[in-house]
Structure 1
Amino acid sequence: MSLLTDLINLNLSDSTEKIIAEYIWIGGSGTDLRSKAKTLPGPVTDPSQLPKWNYDGSSTGQALGDDSEVVLYPQAIYKDPFRKGNNILVLCDCYSPNGEPIPSNKRYNAAKIFSHPDVAAEEPWYGIEQEYTLLQKDVKWPLGWPLGGFPGPQGPYYCSVGADKSFGRDIVDSHYKACLYAGINISGVNGEVMPGQWEFQVGPAVGISIADQLWIARYILERITEIAGVLLSLDPKPVPGDWNGAGAHTNYR
């Protein structure tokens, strides 16, 4: 395992100018995230310097099998907290080969709205509070809950401290720091009302950049939970009954 860790943590800049760009996009469900990695000849500072790329949309619910090519257009870049160095995360949106946005590409119309001179002049500022639940991988039951059972009533868990009240803080803090490293304007985190449930806040940010940052923050969180062997749920009601739900509350100024 130590050799594997050493290889994962290799500093590429010691031996090559090449970098790795992780192209990230939203899949056909509108909530699932997909990504694939591409080698580039050197460091990149702006999305316009990045090549377009493609993928098999029939495997993501975004194209038919007999005409499956979907093209990725890079839209925003962030530092990669996993590979570090000059490596980057690239948020993309999706188009057909003839340049038309595919139906699941909601960013295209949003970008048109936010770039309109009347909208841009207003400088719309947003802050989003993203709640989520951490689940035990094999049973899909909230982290810290007894298998097949329930914890004590809600009350002591919100913004809590202690091994009997707070579950998953290592994941939360790892995500917090990784987002700051990536360049995401994450403004805070806290434990939520239901045990195993947490929240992070992105913003303030102007216009479409708030959505870009939120999606990359979700991607980073999904990668960290993958490493930890825990499932991430954005389900608004992951546990039926009188338990706190989860949302993405949006603040506007």
Structure 2
Amino acid sequence: MTIKAEYIWIDGTEPTPLLRSKTKILDSVPTELPIWGFDGSSTNQAPGKASDCVLKPVFSCPDPIRGGDHLLVLSEVLYTDMTPHKTNTRAQLAEVAEKYASQEPLFGIEQEYTMFKGSRPLGFPDSGGYPGPQGPYYCGVGSDDIYGRPLVEAHLEACIQAGLGISGINAEVMPGQWEFQIGPLGPLEVSDHMWVARWLLHRIGEDFGISITLDPKPVRGDWNGAGAHTNFSTRAMRSSYDAVVKAAEALGKKADEHVANYGHGIEDRLTGQHETAPWDQFSYGVSDRGASVRIPWQVEVDGKGYLEDRRPNANMDPYVVTRLMVSTCCEALA
């Protein structure tokens, strides 16, 4: 039996890393996936004179594109001495997740993205100019307002077949812009699943001739940006409203550190308009989508639950965002 294992990793491109992948042929379904290597000088992760980097499998799932027993294999990048590469943000998260595991942190991440056909967002006139103003596109239906649904449905089905923790999809505020949600899962799990779901989105886009961007402000002007709203709770928050408020206040005390690590171009998106708070001002409030952190209305009513950090960009690294949120909130709630 021949198995195609698609090894996926995150490269060293700055300011926003890219996904890379290549296929390894295995003679049978392995009990343990082998480590592999790649040319780090071609992925901004090593100089040419010492170019070898190591791929260490950390998460695998069925490959919904190739089908059968073929696999997708998400891998960490290591140096040849088997220590984490400087671009390996997963290793840093693993330490923090283990430290605060007793608080049982959970995440649900809402990944917004924009589809492009050529140089223009899907749904924007090919001849130039703009579609009608925002309003009917969010969660809309009908060919006048919705673009790219076949790709979106194919991606949803692929994530389900892969066994990823996908929990929903919806059309977003700008034409050609959609969202999928991963979670609720622990910090490592939600981040691993998110990276594989992103890879699947880009890969399936190839079959439709559509490119995917996680640019936080893909169209300038009076158009919504693209974020990755991050919902977070701990065991204490899921039983106490006071703990939810305490976590929100803790995020405010480290606002600068978080914003600096929530994705490149955050100043272009967090302007105080289009359902955002200004990037250099922190706020939280109940049911307030213009706040940095939103506490859903039902959380206040129930007296327990979770919060939504609305600041992370669509192009954020989930390993970094979950690490910062666990560290900041769990330290405050300890």
Partner amino acid, structure 2, of 1:186: I
Partner amino acid, structure 2, of 1:131: E
> Following TM superposition, by how much is the alpha carbon of 1:182 offset from its aligned partner in structure 2, in angstroms?
0.3
The structure 1 residue matched to 2:197, chosen from 185, 209, 217, is 217
> Following TM superposition, by how much is the alpha carbon of 1:121 offset from its aligned partner in structure 2, in angstroms?
1.2
The structure 1 residue matched to 2:187, chosen from 193, 207, 211, is 207
Paired position in structure 1 for 2:102 = 121
Paired position in structure 1 for 2:69 = 86
Taking the TM superposition and a 5 Å limit, the aligned residue runs for 1:13-92 are 17-29=1-13, 30-44=16-30, 49-92=32-75
Paired position in structure 2 for 1:196 = 176
- CA RMSD after TM alignment: 1.0
Gaps of 5+ in 2: 234-334
Gaps of 5+ in 1: 1-16
CA contact 1:123–1:207 (8 Å) conserved in 2: no
The percent of aligned pairs where both chains have the same amino acid is 52
> Following TM superposition, by how much is the alpha carbon of 1:120 offset from its aligned partner in structure 2, in angstroms?
1.2
> Following TM superposition, by how much is the alpha carbon of 1:81 offset from its aligned partner in structure 2, in angstroms?
0.5
Deviations 1:9-64 (A, max 9, x none): xxxxxxxx22111000001124310001011121246xxx0110000000011110
Partner amino acid, structure 2, of 1:42: S
Paired position in structure 2 for 1:14 = none
Could you state the TM-score of these two structures normalised by the residue count of structure 2? 0.68
Deviations 1:172-193 (A, max 9, x none): 0000010000010100000000
Deviations 1:192-242 (A, max 9, x none): 000000000001111211000000000000001011111100000000011
The structure 2 residue matched to 1:134, chosen from 115, 119, 125, is 115
Q: Which has the higher helix share?
A: 2
CA contact 1:222–1:232 (8 Å) conserved in 2: yes
> Following TM superposition, by how much is the alpha carbon of 1:100 offset from its aligned partner in structure 2, in angstroms?
2.0
Could you state the TM-score of these two structures normalised by the residue count of structure 1? 0.89
| Over 6 Å off, 4+ runs | none
Partner amino acid, structure 2, of 1:38: K
Q: Distance in 2 between matches of 1:85 and 1:112?
A: 35
Q: Distance in 1 between matches of 2:224 and 2:33?
A: 42
Partner amino acid, structure 2, of 1:62: Q
Paired position in structure 2 for 1:5 = none
Q: Distance in 1 between matches of 2:161 and 2:36?
A: 26
3-state SS in 1 of match to 2:49: coil
3-state SS in 1 of match to 2:95: helix
- 1:186 matched to 2:186? The reply is no
> Following TM superposition, by how much is the alpha carbon of 1:114 offset from its aligned partner in structure 2, in angstroms?
1.1
> Following TM superposition, by how much is the alpha carbon of 1:91 offset from its aligned partner in structure 2, in angstroms?
0.4
> Following TM superposition, by how much is the alpha carbon of 1:103 offset from its aligned partner in structure 2, in angstroms?
1.3
> Following TM superposition, by how much is the alpha carbon of 1:85 offset from its aligned partner in structure 2, in angstroms?
0.7
3-state SS in 2 of match to 1:220: helix
Paired position in structure 2 for 1:144 = 123
3-state SS in 1 of match to 2:50: coil
Stretch of structure 1 that moved more, 164-173 or 25-34: 25-34
Stretch of structure 1 that moved more, 74-83 or 99-108: 99-108
Count of aligned pairs between the two proteins? 230
